[in-house]
Every structure is written in C-alpha cells, then in structure tokens.
A and B are shown apart, each in its own frame.
Chain A
Amino acid sequence: MRVALDVNGERHVLDVSDTRRLVDVLRDDLGLTGTKVGCAEGACGACAVLLDGRPVASCLLLAAQAEGCSVTTIEGISRGGPTPLQEAFVAEDALQCGYCTPGQVVSATALLASLPQPTPEQVRAAMVGNLCRCGAYPRIERAVLRASGQGVD
C-alpha cells in the first residue's frame, strides 16, 4: 500500500506492505537508525518517537497508522544541534551504552514540552516506560531536571 508520512518535517511517499511497522520504515526505508528496537513488543521504549508531539512506541504502530500525523524522531529533535536536554544528558552522564538514550531523549522531550518544570515524581512517571539496562536512571532524572532549569543538589 502507498503511505504518505510526515517525518521530521519532510514528506515521504512510500510503498509498504500493510503490516509494516513504523519503526521498520523509519530505520530501514528512511535510514533513520537513531530510533532503536529493544524488544519489538512495547516494553522497553527504545523505539520511542513523537507522533504529533506525543511519545509512542514505533514498534507497536503500523506505518499506515502514522499517516496524517507528524512524526518526529531523535534525528528531528537533534536537527538544529543538540538541545539543552541532550546537553544535560551528556553533562550528567545520563547514559552508558547509549542504546536506550534516543528513546529516553524522545520521552523527556515530550515531557518537558507539556510540563516545563516537572517534579522528580513526574519525571519518573513520564519515563517509566523507557528501560535503561545499564542503570543510568538516577542521572536521567537529574538530566531532565537540569534541562528544565531546576537545580539538582
């Protein structure tokens, strides 16, 4: 089937099978490999992208379902250079292997867009779907708070 997708502000018209997932189109067809697959069952958040500004698991979405929506990937978030949130991730060392990091950044970007000054509890609630096996969680929380302009310690 033919699908028209708006990804990072660019329109792509693609011929895809009707069971093709959004994450596969992003990674394999559009070469946007910043979006990662960790489980392909919606349990880890590594594949998070913004759909009209909301974070979604792109492994649980068919490409066709994203038609008519605006899709923003980690590459789109990074297009104008690293955001203050991304700089805070680096400064706080909020990553280790980095594989989950694009998904973490996507979820935190959505959080800060809707809640510019979250409490630590709100950060945890918003980020609970993004697994980090290396255990950078304490630093991820600090990075999000730092990016929101709230001092930590």
Chain B
Amino acid sequence: MARFVKTQRELEGRFEDVFVLVDDDDPTEPWEAGAELRHVGRPASRQDGLVRVTGAARYTVDVQLAGMLEGAVLRSPVAHGRLTALALDAARAVPGVRAVIGPGSEVGYEGEPLLTAEPTWVGDPIAAVAADTPEQAAAALAALAPVFEPLAHVVDPDEALRDQRFTKDPVEDARGDVDGAWGEADVVVELEVETPGHLQTPLEPHAAVARWDGDDLTAWVSTQGMFDARTELARRFGLPKERVRVLTEFFGGGFGGKQGAGTEAILAAELARVTGRPVRVVNDRHAEQLAGGRRAWTRQTVKLGARGDGRLVAVESAALVSMGQGGFTFPVNLPALTLYEVEHARGMLFPLKTNLRAQNAFRAPGVTEGVAVFEQAVDELAAALGLDPLELRRRNHVDRDQASGLPYSDKHLLECYDRAAELAGWGDRERLKEPQPDGLLRGMGCATQIWWGGGGPPAHATVRLDATGHAVVTTGIQDIGTGTLTTATIVAAEELGLPLDRVRVRGGDTAPNLYGPVSGGSMTTPAVMPAVRSAAGKVRRTLLGLAADLYEIAADDLTVVDGRIRSRDGAIDADVAEVTEKLGNATIDGSGSRGPNPAGYRVHTFGCQIAQVAVDAAVGEVRVERIVAVHDVGRIVNPLGASSQAEGGILQGMAFALSEELVVDPNTGIPVNATLDDYKVPTIADVPEVVVEFVDIPDPTMSTIGAKGLGEPPIVPTAAAIANAFAHATGRRCRALPLTRARVLETLR
C-alpha cells in the first residue's frame, strides 16, 4: 500500500518539510558493502555516447519545426535607466517580423513581467521579437532603437555597503560566546580574501522552442529542471500542468545556471502564442554571459582562534556578497560554522544589492567560495602555530553537524586525508621549496571539501520488460552531462539480472509524468536510483514468478543473472527471453519511488584535495602541476562517470582560482568581458595531472543504494588547495582570487 510520509527535503542546504508518496511494501534491501555485484561499481561507457560523438544528439538549439520563427530579445545596454522611447511600430514594419512585444504590450502571461521599462542591470530584457529569419529578428531589434534616461547605478560592493543597500536583511548564525572566547586562544589569525564573479558559461546557451497546439503547450527547454519548467509555464499561461510538455533530451551544460523555464522559454511561449507559430529563442554568447547567471563576488573576513595544540576555540566569518538584484543567499559560511569542531562560532552574511543580474546557483553555490577563503585562513593558522596543515585539520575533525547538532550519516574524511597525502607525496612537500632547476617556485597545499549530496524524495521511475527480454526504464532525469541515465542503466540491469545492453533508460520528457528532481544539489543519483532499483525489483520478482509457473518450480528457487534464469539445482538455465516471449504483446511493469531519508542524521559528502603549483615569479604565472582528489561520496555506481565528474569539477575549480573573473566597469556598470574571448575558461593546454580516487564505502543511511551525489563536491576545495599551494611556494598570501599575473606580481613585490 502506498502512503504519505512527512519528511525533510534538502537542496543546497535549504531544508523544507514535504509529504512524499512511498511504497511501503517494497522488500528491496540495501546492497551490502563488498557485495558481489555484476554492474554496480564497474566502469560503463555512457549509453548515449555514440549519439553524442556523431553529432546526432538533438539539443534544444537544434530543434527545427515547420513554420518555426526565430525569436530575439532586446537587452538593456545600461546598468540602470528609464526607457523613454522604444520604436515598437518601426520594428513591426521590418519585413518578416511577426511579433514585437515590449514592456506592458501584448504580454499574455501571468506573474512578474519579464520585460521592463526600467532596467536594473546590463542584460535586463526590454523587448522581444519573432521573425521569419534570424537576420530579420536582428533587424527588428535594431529598429527598436531604445532610448534610456540614465539613472544612478551601483556595481561596486563597497559603495553598496556604504549605502547599506541589501537585497534582504544581513544574516547572522552564531553559537557559543564568540566575543568572549578569543581570550582563551593562544593564537588568533585573521584573513581577508576576495573571490570573483564566476560565470557558469555552458557552451549551449539558455535556449527554448515553444509550440502551441490549441491549448496544449510543448516546450523544448535547455534546463536543469524540466518539471520546474513545466510548473512555471503552466502557472504563467494559466494552464493545468498536464497541458504542458517539456522536453530536455540533451542539453549542453548548466552548472547550476539553467533553472526552470527561464526567460527564454516564457518569451518563446508568449511569442508563439501571439504569432500562432512555433518560436525558438536562443541567447547569443554575449547575452548568455550577461544574463545566464553567475557565482557572486564575495569578500570574506575569517578570524580563527586556537590553542597551542591547534584545537579551535572560536571561528568568525563575515562575508560580503555582491548579490546583484537578488537571489538566494547561498551558504558561504557553512565551512566556518561546521567544517571543524569549535564551540564558539559566528557567520555573518551581508547580501549587497548591486546593479547586476541576480546571482544564481553555480556548482556548489556558496560553499565553493566559502571554502576558497576559509581553508586559506586555516592554513594561515597552521603557519602561525607551526603545525602541518593536514595535521591541524585532523586535530579539529568533527563527527556531527554542529549547525543542527545531528550526527553525520557517514563520514570518511580522515581516510581521504591519509590517501590524498600518500598519493600527493605530502610528506616530502618541503623538498619542493628547495631551489628548482627551472627557477620556478614550487609548493603544495591542501583543502577540505564539504557539501550535502543526500538527495531524497520525491523521485519516481517505471520499468517495463517486453517479450524480447529487453527492459525500458522511464525516469524524470534530464541528463546534464553527468551520465545519470547510464547510472540508472547500471542500477536497473543489476536489479533485473540483465546485461547492460538489454536495458535502456529514458528521460528528458515530462510527458510520462514520472517526476525527477532538478539536475542540481548533487541529488540525481541519491534521489532517483533507489526509485529505479525499486521498480526493477518488482519486475524481477514478477519475472521469476512467471518463470516459476512455466518451469513448475518455486520462484524462491530461481535467480536471474546475466540475462539467464537459473534454478538453484542447476536444472534450469534459460535465457530470460524464453520466459518473456510467452508474454506476446503484454509486458511486465513495475513502478518505484524514493523513500524518505532516515530522521536524525545530516547527510554530507567530504573530501580532500592537494594541489602542487609552480610559480614563475618573473612574470607572475601560476601553473598547477598536479591535483590529487580523494572524496567520500558513498558508493560509486559507475567509476568511469564518477572520475569524469571529479575531473570536470576540479578543472572548473582550478579556473576559479587562476583565470575566471567577471570584470565590471564601475563607471558604466557594464560587464566588460562577457565574451568567450575575454572571459578565460580553461583550455586543454591548462590541464594539470589529475589523480582521482573515491573512498567508495556505501552510506548505510542512503536508501537501498548507499550512493551520494558527486556533481558538486569536486569543485569545492580546488581553489583553496591551489591558493594554499601558492602560499606555500611563495610565502605570500594573495588577497584576491583569481591569481592573475597582475595580482601575483603585486603580491610578490
């Protein structure tokens, strides 16, 4: 019998109570640590690999429909202004133009208007057009000839702080008596470091195609959350959800920045409604870099007090965050409040309102920038105490979440430290400081990773086994590129006892109405895989029951492995198809859902990275030579995909430390490097040696799989490890990331 259970749901550290549907007669038992498994834990290449390498995969930008119009969006060139003229009729007169909408004109959707006559950031949407060709749409945008009366803008966070401009009230989280505790410390250090505005920069920009069939809306959306997009479109256009279908079969990256329908899908749907034709809206690169989102700039001041043996007495962190026009305040102070055992702790966050797009999620939002600074302060403390940085971290290890008081569900961080130290040659790190033949300064630094990653309900899946003995798994996954459909293939094949090539997993479509969570918060694997396994288990049990009928033997005496049904006594050894072919046109179906996480724990992932850098003091260049990463994310389902995820996160973290930085002209409020030429994402030539290992011990609280999420953890400690290696190499601490040549030269002067 299905029932409702009240449970707590977590996304990026935000908790909410929800009722979830659970199937309480599911007898699926967790796989034991060390259980003999056929597919789980073995590397598998992705099920859609060939489709992707041959160019056959159809992304949202590739969708072409009969009669489809090209949409385009006029975006504000000013950081703050009032629109005084907009030539809507001139744009409508451009040949091939089918619709022009501006602030308050022909806008048929509900809720907050997307088109504004008073833009508050460069890139804010002003108007939108649809035309027969992209050239005509561009001509229409030019014909709009907007005129703005400039208004005062603030992009400098210090100016925003001076004026006390906040998007919401500053936040303070505290425990103990921080102010009274400093006196107990033998050593106190304080460090202030800035982290840059950091653009997600997915290579496929935000994009959408919308088509109406009567009152039914179909939208192809490049989004991490197709179900959220469905909800949003339904609400905007006053439709029941079942009249909206969102398709996201392939999408070209998101990294947190593609949530819900986005401006693009809502405008595409509105232009399609107005014109009666399908409409495609695709951001060009400049628009994507302006409007796609970013990790906010921060300036964090961290103060640490410790006894002579290294045990922390008090921790304080104050973070200025340049929020732009709003957005969630991400947990920048999580490391200060929870990473190490400390009685007295205070985290303050000042969400500054600036004339930039609202900040949004970028891979481990808040925690990446928090760890980037906090872990540098921990190294400063180690230096002040004369302690080995890893040893200092070990001495302050904690086994419970100090924010909630709850124990961690599972934590193997100490093993991560030991293994990373071994792989990196940490014991010999002082030898790097001897004079080097190439004249470069070398150093090694470490940092600790923390993130959530437990996922949770709701998530649903079905499995259908057909007469040929092949299974189709249907999920609500949109595969952001992590290969989660392949993860589901592995889990389903394991449970069904089928070879991988007899299982196909579908996702990327809301039409089956099988909910899957947003591709974010490192939650797809821990949320969806238990539902897949549950559904597959039902099909396996039905299959064995039917086989028992056929072979006139008790179902308990049968197993299915590698696509063969075998009896315990060895008398029966038949291909699954021998049973399933009797189904004719019938199928064996099972559905599964994700149950709640057990109460009384906090689920987190942990890890340690160690970076080795070489610094050319003459020109200020920092090169990362090697990164060792050891993470504890529970069971690893697909080691191949897991290593890919880790490497990708590390490279993004490396670029956050070395080259990526949104630069905004304070005089005009205009981002000046919102292009791929000037915004420096890493290339293949920048790649260091990357060594990745996982602890790979199932988290016993993590439903029937034991796996936690992995999308976010690898990016978290990389920048701090690199900055600590830089400080080890040079004896200097750079007060801002990224470590560009200019900053490095100034720091070394």
Pick the residue among B134, B204, B690 that contacts A97 (CB under 8 A).
Answer: B204
**Closest Cβ–Cβ distance, residue B623 to chain A (whole Å):** 14
Instruction: Point out the residues of chain A lying under 8 angstroms from B645, CB to CB.
Output: 96
**Closest Cβ–Cβ distance, residue B350 to chain A (whole Å):** 31
Query: Which range holds the interface residue count of chain B?
Result: 35 or more
A50 is an interface residue with CB less than 8 A from chain B: no
Pick the residue among B53, B251, B252 that contacts A89 (CB under 8 A).
Answer: B53
A91 is an interface residue with CB less than 8 A from chain B: yes
Query: Which range holds the interface residue count of chain A?
Result: 35 or more
Q: Are A86 and B252 in contact (CB under 8 A)?
A: no
Interface residues of B in 311-346 (CB under 8 A from A): none
**Closest Cβ–Cβ distance, residue A60 to chain B (whole Å):** 12
B573 is an interface residue with CB less than 8 A from chain A: no
Instruction: Point out the residues of chain A lying under 8 angstroms from B252, CB to CB.
Output: 36, 97-100
Q: Are B203 and A44 in contact (CB under 8 A)?
A: yes
A7 is an interface residue with CB less than 8 A from chain B: no
Q: Are B55 and A24 in contact (CB under 8 A)?
A: no
B644 is an interface residue with CB less than 8 A from chain A: yes
Task: Choose, from B42-50, B433-441, B595-603, the stretch at the interface.
Answer: B42-50
Q: In the complex where A78-B55, A89-B49 touch, is A137 in contact with B651 (Cβ < 8 A)?
A: yes
Q: Are B684 and A133 in contact (CB under 8 A)?
A: no
Q: Are A105 and B483 in contact (CB under 8 A)?
A: no
Pick the residue among A46, A96, A133 that contacts B681 (CB under 8 A).
Answer: A133
Bound form: Cα–Cα A36–B202 in Å: 13
A35 is an interface residue with CB less than 8 A from chain B: yes
**Closest Cβ–Cβ distance, residue B677 to chain A (whole Å):** 5
Instruction: Encode contact with B along A114-140: 1 for CB under 8 Å, 0 otherwise.
Output: 000000000111011111111111111
- Which chain A residue has the least Cβ–Cβ distance from B200? A133
Instruction: Point out the residues of chain A lying under 8 angstroms from B58, CB to CB.
Output: 33
Instruction: Point out the residues of chain B lying under 8 angstroms from A91, CB to CB.
Output: 45
Q: Are A86 and B644 in contact (CB under 8 A)?
A: no
Q: In the complex where A41-B677, A128-B684, A139-B644 touch, is A34 in contact with B54 (Cβ < 8 A)?
A: yes
Q: Are A90 and B46 in contact (CB under 8 A)?
A: yes
Q: Are A43 and B677 in contact (CB under 8 A)?
A: yes
Pick the residue among A19, A32, A35, A93 that contacts B641 (CB under 8 A).
Answer: A93
Instruction: Point out the residues of chain A lying under 8 angstroms from B255, CB to CB.
Output: 133
Most chain B C-beta atoms within 10 Å of own C-beta, residue among A28, A86, A96: A96
**Assuming A38-B676, A93-B483, what are 11 further A-B pairs, CB within 8 angstroms?**
A43-B677, A86-B50, A86-B54, A93-B49, A93-B640, A97-B251, A101-B52, A102-B55, A138-B690, A139-B647, A141-B684
Chain B residues in contact with chain A, CB under 8 A? 45-46, 48-50, 52-59, 61-62, 64, 134-135, 201-204, 250-253, 255, 284-285, 480-483, 640-641, 643-645, 647-652, 675-677, 681-685, 687, 690
What are 9 residue pairs bridging A and B, where the CB atoms are less than 8 Å apart in the complex?
A33-B55, A38-B204, A38-B285, A39-B676, A86-B53, A90-B50, A99-B204, A133-B652, A137-B683
Chain A residues in contact with chain B, CB under 8 A? 17, 19, 24, 27-28, 31-41, 43-44, 46, 73-75, 78, 82, 86, 89-91, 93, 95-102, 105, 123-125, 127-141
